[in-house]
Amino acid sequence: MIQQFIKEGSIYSISTFATKGISLLLIPFYTAYFSPADYGVLDLLVVFSGIVNAFVSLQIGQATARYLADGKLSEIERKRIGSTGITALVGLYFIAFLLLIGISFFWENWTGSSYPITTYLFRLATINTVLHAISIQLFIHLRYRRKAKTHAILSFFQTIANMGFIFALVVYGKMGIDAIYWASILVVPFILMIQFYLIREDLSWKIDWTSLRKMLRYAIPLIPAAVAILIMEITDRLFIHHFLSVDALGIYGIGTKFPAAFGLFISSFSLALGPLVMQGYMHAETKEKLRQLLFNYIQWGGLLIFLLSLFSLETLSVFTSQAFLQGESVMPFMYFNYFVQGILIFSLGLSLNNQTRIISLICIGAAILNCVGNYWLIPTWGIVGAAFSTCISTTLLTLFHFGMSAHFYAFFSPKRLIIVLVFLFILIVCVFQFNQFQLNYMTRISWKTVISIVSIIGVVSIHSTQKRKRALKKIN
């Protein structure tokens, strides 16, 4: 399992690194052509897409992921589930598309002509949301059918084509932020045609009602969870927009982009882990392998976010303009936030036992905490308060989710995880404080280099010690 995980995870991560690397290299281009206010508008439209997806999808994608690779189901049952999920989702989004286009005719009457999201932009965002939702469902199908190479190549091609069109439409078409949506509208239909062709043998365009009922029993309780997660993702942006300004929202958005790249790297490996676990969770050796994977993730992932947090200011200095440098203050907390989210992929017990109601309750609690935290902290701490609140609520969500999952599928001590995360969070706070010191460039870089070397040596020593202990255990 570990070898397959590394192989498929590497395929996904190479694709992610290549596409995200190019995306990061284009940040100077984006910040040159788009203002902080433009980024604020884009963040608001991300919120719109998230709301649509949370409700319209009925979380059918989650149910597809749960059952499509389940080793206890027959091949025929898995095909029925895959085809039913795609057919139902296409139907739901077609209805949503018609409703949203109808709403667009009244958009300016409701929002006013001065609102930054115009009717035209709203329609572009609607089309983009529908196309991406269907494409994501097809990507889920490919992933859980263990077609890692196909998934990675298509994702890479889609990203490269999308970036190319954005560049051309912004520079030569002078289309501004409209170009981002037009690029997707031009690229995604072509990707959809390829996806439908690749899964044609699994697709009957019929809904098996027995399979659909099974999927909905699992998925519908997750709708409140999806809404809660969406609230957690957008609360910081909504409160920043309310208490601060659209410019502050744009700076915050840039500050979260680089940690989000780390999050994408982690999600690349989660793309590989999900199907593998679903195929073999009933085997005894799976738990030991998961324990090893989680331990290695904590060691090396923790080291990576520590180093990335340490060089937050330098990262923004290289890739963005002076107007966005304040975003460095949120980066350490957001790196930690995405690191903790990565632990959720190891919280398997609740999903495997179909305890989706418990998942929803945990997510709702975390969302409420995040709302309260943002309301209290943003007026005082600004964008740092938003990052801190998001970080704390995500950590508590993960710990509760992992702890409850351990009751059904235990392989790593929740208490041990708490100790590790508290220690790492203290380090991140120390990094944040260190980054606030006004040091000259050479002094700052020298100190950061020394700290980095000591940290790397420390983690390598711990890893070597643990490796020797495991070897001695096998001998004895």
Residue 3 predicted with pLDDT over 60: no
Lookup: tokens for 309: 């947090």
Give residue 93's pLDDT band: very low, low, confident or very high (50, 70, 90). Answer: very high
Whether residues 351 and 361 share a domain: the answer is: yes
Q: Distance between CA atoms of 146 and 191, rounded to whole angstroms? A: 19
Let me know if 473 is exposed, middle or buried by CB neighbors in 10 A (0-12, 13-18, 19+): exposed
Query: Quick check: is 90 in a domain?
Result: yes
pLDDT tens for each residue of 19-37: 655 665 666 666 667 776 7
Confidence of residue 204 (pLDDT cuts 50, 70, 90): confident
Same domain, 131 and 268: no
Looking at residue 363, what is its pLDDT?
92
Report yes or no: 384 and 332 within 8 Å, Cβ to Cβ: no
Q: Has residue 14 got a pLDDT over 70?
A: no
pLDDT at 130: 92
Examine the domain organization and report whether 179 and 244 are in the same domain. Answer: no
Token pair 């700052």 is at which residue? 444
Report the C-alpha gap between 89 and 207 in whole angstroms.
11
Contacts for 291 with CB less than 8 Å, ≥ 6 apart:
411, 412
Q: Is there a domain that residue 446 lies in?
A: no
What does the block give as tokens for 49?
Answer: 């897409």
End-to-end, the C-alpha distance of the chain in Å comes to 25
The single residue listed with the structure tokens 């704390």 is 392
Instruction: Clarify whether residues 229 and 128 are in a common domain.
Output: no
Mean pLDDT, rounded, for 392-414: 89
> Which tens digit of pLDDT belongs to each residue from 231-276?
888 888 889 988 888 788 888 888 888 888 778 777 766 666 666 6
Residue 444 in any domain: the answer is no
List, for residues 415-446, the tens digit of each pLDDT value: 999 999 999 999 999 989 888 887 787 888 88
Tell me what pLDDT residue 202 has.
78
Answer whether 258's CB lies under 8 Å from 324's CB.
no
- 126 and 239 in a single domain? The answer is no
Residue 472 belongs to some domain of the structure:
no
Q: Is residue 412 part of a domain?
A: yes
pLDDT of residue 371: 94
Alpha-carbon distance 270 to 456, whole Å? 25
Helices (H), 105-147: 107-111, 119-144
Q: What tens digit of pLDDT does each residue of 156-170 get?
A: 888 888 888 888 888
Q: Please say which residue of 190, 220, 250 terminates a domain.
A: 220
72 lies in the same domain as 213: yes
Which pLDDT score, from 0 to 100, does residue 136 have?
A: 86
Reduced to 3 states, what is the DSSP secondary structure of residue 215?
helix
Residues 273 and 356 in one domain: yes
Could you tell me if residue 344 is inside a domain? yes
Alpha carbon separation from 465 to 5, 305, 335, 458, 475 (Å, rounded): 24, 22, 27, 11, 16
Tracing tokens 């949301």 back to the chain, one arrives at 129
Choose the final residue of a domain: 161, 192, 220: 220
* Whether residues 47 and 77 fall in one domain: yes
Count the neighbouring beta carbons within 10 Å of the beta carbon of residue 249: 26
| Dist CA 47 CA 427 (whole Å) | 32
What predicted TM-score, i.e. pTM, was given to this entire model? Answer: 0.74
- With H, G, I as helix, E, B as strand and everything else as coil, classify residue 68: coil
Question: 436, 452, 469 — which closes off a domain?
Answer: 436
Q: How many domains does the chain have?
A: 2
* Residue 348 lies in domain: 222-436
User: What pLDDT band is residue 7 in, cutting at 50, 70 and 90?
Assistant: low
Q: Are residues 334 and 418 in the same domain?
A: yes
Residues 262 and 305 grouped into a single domain: yes
Residues 146 and 271 in one domain: no
Q: Are residues 254 and 174 in the same domain?
A: no
